Amino acid sequence: MEKIRDTWNANLYDSKHSFVSMYGESLIELLAPQKGEKILDLGCGTGDLAKQLSYYGSEITGVDQSEKMIEQARSKYPTIKFIVQDATKLVFHHEFDAVFSNAALHWIKQPKQALTCIYNSLKQGGRLVAEFGGKDNVRAISDELIHQIEAEGFTFNMEQFPWFFPSIAEYSSLMEQAGFRVTFAQHFDRPTPLDGESAIKNWIKMFGSSMLAGVPESKKAGIIAKVENNLKEVLYSDGRWIGDYKRIRVIGYKE
């Protein structure tokens, strides 16, 4: 099978997008990790939340599909176990008391496979606690980017859309099909301050670059500049950019 290209920039992620793990801190409260629990941090990025989880005396394993992210996580936190692994091909069976996932599941466009793997990774009575992008997450940004790509005369294929942003009903149903008992599901607005004047440019470069596949390099900067310009009225206030984030939080148990 063809290896997926690792386009993640781990340094940019740590320096300009630290809000990703910052917002994950309140998710840890929902997880309520216990001493001695074995916890899988799925889509662990550069390891900041895995490190925080370790303070509770839990035994943490962090997995991410990106080799660059895992490399950075290992160098930052050498005492924690980090493994490169695809969420749709997890090799764990009945090993974990909990699977924790922050800002990762919306990158997985095969949610059934991922949820089955998560379910199989858990011990009986184990729990999944996750937050990720929900229905209409970053819609203003993605709609404007698609509009500008098409305005330049290029065809945008929805297969290039890198995310899966489900509704609560959709995701709860998928969890139940995988065998989970869903005990909590929430969809909420979370306007997210983005760092610096070039925040939209950086955001597209970090998270949305696949949407520009097929667009010549010479055209990309112009498209992004128009996106930035048109979004200023919508997402810029009091001297800063605010991302139109909408999140889902779920808890499910393997019974």
pLDDT of 17 over the 50 cut: no
Q: How many domains does the chain have?
A: 1
DSSP conformation class of 209:
G
pLDDT of 6 over the 50 cut: no
Domain-embedded: residue 217: no
- The pLDDT tens digits of the residues spanning 31-89 come to 999 999 999 999 999 999 999 999 999 999 999 999 999 999 999 999 999 999 999 99
pLDDT of 121 over the 80 cut: yes
**Distance of alpha carbon 99 from alpha carbon 96, whole angstroms:** 7
Domain-embedded: residue 238: no
DSSP conformation class of 5:
P
Domain-embedded: residue 100: yes
Domain-embedded: residue 25: yes
Domain-embedded: residue 81: yes
Range of the domain at 28: 10-137+164-194+244-254
pLDDT of 146 over the 80 cut: yes
**Distance of alpha carbon 179 from alpha carbon 198, whole angstroms:** 44
Q: Chain-wide mean pLDDT for the chain? A: 91
**Distance of alpha carbon 135 from alpha carbon 100, whole angstroms:** 21
pTM exceeds cut of 0.75:
yes
- The pLDDT tens digits of the residues spanning 228-252 come to 999 999 999 999 999 999 999 999 9
Domain-embedded: residue 16: yes
Residue 160's Cβ-count burial label (10 Å; 0-12, 13-18, 19+) is middle
- The pLDDT tens digits of the residues spanning 154-210 come to 999 999 999 999 999 999 999 999 999 999 999 999 999 998 899 999 999 989 999
**Distance of alpha carbon 89 from alpha carbon 93, whole angstroms:** 12
pLDDT value, residue 183: 97
* CATH, residue 63: 3.40.50.150
Q: Strand, coil or helix: what is 53?
A: helix
Domain-embedded: residue 74: yes
Q: Are 166 and 153 in contact (CB under 8 A)?
A: no
